[in-house]
Chain A
Amino acid sequence: MQRITAMMAGIVAQVLVQPGETVEPGQEVVVLESMKMQIPVTTPVGGTVRTLHTSEGAFVNEGDLLLELAP
Chain B
Amino acid sequence: MEEKLSAAEQLAAHIERIKRGGPPKYHEKAREQGKLHARERLRLLFAGEPEFEDGLLAECLNPELPADAVITAVGRVDGRLVAAVAADSTVKAGSWGAKSVEKVIRMQELAEHMQMPLIYLIDSAGARIPDQINLFPGRRHGGHIFYNQVRLSGVVPQITILFGPSPAGAAYVTAFADVAIMVEHNASAYLGSPRMAEMVIGEKVTLEYMGGARMHCTVSGLGDFLAANEEEAIALARAYLAYFPQHYTQRPPTASPVPPAPGRPLAEIVPAEQNVPFDMYELIMALVDEGSFLEVKKLFAPELITGLARLDGRAIGIVANQPKVKGGTLFSDSSDKGARFVALCSAFNIPLLFLADVPGFMIGSQVERTGIIRHGAKFIAAVSQATCPKISVIVRKCYGAGLYAMAGPAFGPDAVLALPTAQIAVMGPEAAVNAVYANQIAALPEAERAAFIAQKRAEYAADIDIFRLASELIVDAVIPFEHLRDELTRRFAAYETKVARFSERNNPVYPV
Could you list which residues of chain A lie within 8 angstroms of chain B, going by C-beta atoms? Answer: 7-9, 34-40, 61-63
Contacts and interface: CB of A to CB of B under 8 A. Distances in A.
A38 B327 contact: yes
B199 to A, nearest CB: 31
A35 B366 contact: no
Given A36-B428, A37-B359, A8 B276 contact: no
Contact of A40 (B277, B364, B431): B277
Contacts of B185: none
| Chain B interface residue bracket vs A | 20 to 34
Contacts of A36: 275, 359, 428, 430-431
A62 B359 contact: no
Contacts of A61: 364-366
B366 A9 contact: yes
Given A8-B326, A37-B329, 20 more contacts: A9-B362, A9-B364, A34-B326, A34-B327, A34-B329, A35-B327, A35-B329, A35-B363, A36-B428, A37-B277, A37-B328, A37-B359, A38-B276, A38-B277, A39-B277, A39-B327, A61-B364, A61-B366, A62-B366, A62-B367
Contacts of B117: none
B376 interface: no
A62 B276 CA distance: 20
Nearest to A40: B277
Interface in B291-336: 323-324, 326-329, 331
Interface in B356-374: 359-360, 362-367
A35 B277 contact: no
Between B324, B327, B331, B360, the greatest number of chain A beta carbons within 10 A of the residue's beta carbon is seen for B327
Interface of B: 275-277, 323-324, 326-329, 331, 359-360, 362-367, 428, 430-431
9 contacts: A8-B327, A9-B362, A35-B329, A35-B359, A35-B363, A36-B430, A37-B327, A38-B327, A40-B324
Nearest to A9: B364
A38 B275 contact: yes
A61 to B, nearest CB: 6
Contacts of A34: 326-327, 329
Contacts of B359: 35-37
Contacts of A39: 277, 326-327
A40 B325 CA distance: 8
A34 B328 CA distance: 11
A36 B364 CA distance: 14
A40 to B, nearest CB: 7
A35 B276 CA distance: 12
A34 B327 CA distance: 8
Given A36-B430, A37-B359, A7 B275 contact: no
Given A34-B329, A36-B430, A8 B362 contact: yes
A35 B327 CA distance: 8
A8 B367 CA distance: 9
Nearest to A35: B359
Contacts of B428: 36
Contacts of B327: 8, 34-35, 37-39
Contacts of A9: 362, 364, 366-367
Q: Which 7 A-B pairs have the closest CB atoms?
A: A37-B327, A35-B359, A9-B364, A35-B329, A62-B366, A8-B326, A36-B428
Contacts of A37: 275, 277, 323, 327-329, 359
